């Protein structure tokens, strides 16, 4: 069952992480544009969210903060190409240097562009566990080069065999080719500075950014708060109108973490790991989804349901059926069941 869930996670990455890098010699490719991969949203003065577009190279959200002496980037997307595009957008807004970057957690859709910043000498800050997991656990999300080459060749062949007038079908294969080109450039790259507890205060001149770590999504999560703008970058501790993956999660820790964040920042704007820029109400809705999931599964266990019966019988409540990533609904039940039974093996 775990193998199927990992495959589903990979499929989700594939759906939301389509794109292209530089053309490979002898192979057709189309230059991607930033607007195809993410939407840049000004959240406050000098604070921007980069909201991943479905079908783009970014996959997970990112963002940045401009101070009077430099820039901080929060998360690095799924692919190096998307990270390069974000740097281009930053440079169009300011000539100040990029002083810091942050990985909210290790998952590949938030760290796949690390290599771009390391090559530029930008320190990447993360939780201690990210340095242990980034280049090991992420291998499950990244097929082998041989597998990617084969998939790319198959997609390119299908595209070449599709008549020009079947534009939608050709576009689908073109997106697949872009996806595999982008993925073949990823080199799993660790953060360069880590911490395990408490807070870390960074300064972009007069502007302060406060990094904190709390448990929930992976056991190695960091979020950022910009005090003068009242903006929180949650990483995947916060999802906006989107069902989460729980493959590494501990929901019993996650719910108190969200309660603490909402209590500490009651009037903040939130840049989530997935979904649109949110207010406290959207983060509360996500918190309530996790609580509802736990309650439903706990009752199912009390009623004697096996894990397979729980997955079949515990249906997603109507109020959450408009959330994105509906494919996570059933795996969420399985993960919650195993957490409550004490049999979940964190990946």
The string of pLDDT tens digits covering residues 286-332 is: 999 999 999 999 999 999 999 999 999 999 999 999 999 999 999 99
Q: What is the pLDDT of residue 172?
A: 82
Between 347 and 40, the higher pLDDT residue: 40
Using the predicted structure, report yes or no on whether residue 275 has a pLDDT greater than 50. Answer: yes
169: in domain: no
> Using 50, 70 and 90 to split pLDDT, how confident is the model at 19?
very low
Domain residue limits at 276: 2-139+188-341
Give a yes or no: residue 204 inside a domain.
yes
Which pTM value belongs to this model?
0.90
Residue 1 has pLDDT above 70, yes or no: no
Comparison of pLDDT for 69 and 22, the residue scoring more? 69
> Does a structural domain hold residue 102?
yes
- For the chain, the first-to-last Cα distance in angstroms comes to 13
pLDDT given for residue 347 in this prediction: 63
Q: Residue 232: beta bridge partners?
A: 225, 270
Q: What is the CATH number of the domain that holds 131?
A: 3.60.15.10
192-222 pLDDT, tens per residue?
A: 999 999 999 999 999 999 999 999 999 999 9
Domain contains 108: yes
Q: Is residue 300 part of a domain?
A: yes
Let me know if residue 69 belongs to a domain.
yes
Mean pLDDT of 147-152: 91
Domain tally, the chain: 1
Is residue 312, in this structure, part of any structural domain at all? yes
Q: Taking a C-beta distance cutoff of 8 angstroms, is the pair 120, 95 a contact?
A: no
Q: Does position 17 have pLDDT exceeding 80, yes or no?
A: no
Q: pLDDT-derived band of residue 61, with 50, 70 and 90 as boundaries? A: very high
13: confidence class by pLDDT, cuts 50, 70, 90:
low
Task: Name every residue whose Cβ is closer than 8 Å to that of residue 331 and which is 6 or more positions away in sequence.
Answer: 5, 8, 245, 246, 247
């Amino acid at each position: 069952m775990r193998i199927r869930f990992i495959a589903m996670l990979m499929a989700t990455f594939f759906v939301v992480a389509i794109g292209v890098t530089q053309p490979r010699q002898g192979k057709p490719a189309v230059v991607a544009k930033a607007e195809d991969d993410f939407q840049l949203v000004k959240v406050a003065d000098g604070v921007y969210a980069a909201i991943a577009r479905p079908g783009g190279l970014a996959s997970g959200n990112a963002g940045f903060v401009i101070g009077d002496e430099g820039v901080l980037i929060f998360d690095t997307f799924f692919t190096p190409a998307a990270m390069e595009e974000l740097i281009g957008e930053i440079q169009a807004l300011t000539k100040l240097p990029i002083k810091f970057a942050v990985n909210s957690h290790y998952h590949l859709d938030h760290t796949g562009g690390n290599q771009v910043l390391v090559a530029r000498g930008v320190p990447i800050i993360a939780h201690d566990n990210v340095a242990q997991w980034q280049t090991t656990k992420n291998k499950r999300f990244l097929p082998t080069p041989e597998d990617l080459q084969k998939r790319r060749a198959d997609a390119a062949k299908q595209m070449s065999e599709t008549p020009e007038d079947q534009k939608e079908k050709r576009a689908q294969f073109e997106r697949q080719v872009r996806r595999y080109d982008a993925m073949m450039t990823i080199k799993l790259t660790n953060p360069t500075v880590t911490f395990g507890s408490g807070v870390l205060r960074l300064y972009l001149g007069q502007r302060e950014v406060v990094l904190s770590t709390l448990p929930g999504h992976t056991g190695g999560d960091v979020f950022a708060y910009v005090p003068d703008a009242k903006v929180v970058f949650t990483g995947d501790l916060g999802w906006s109108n989107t069902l989460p993956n729980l493959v590494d999660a501990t929901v019993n820790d996650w719910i108190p973490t969200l309660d603490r964040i909402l209590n500490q920042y009651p009037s903040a704007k939130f840049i989530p790991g997935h979904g649109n820029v949110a207010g406290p109400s959207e983060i509360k809705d996500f918190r309530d989804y996790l609580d509802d999931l736990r309650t439903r599964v706990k009752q199912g266990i009390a009623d004697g349901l096996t894990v397979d019966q729980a997955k079949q019988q515990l249906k997603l409540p109507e109020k959450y059926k408009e959330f994105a990533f509906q494919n996570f609904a059933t795996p969420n039940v399985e993960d919650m069941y195993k957490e409550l039974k004490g049999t979940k093996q964190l990946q």
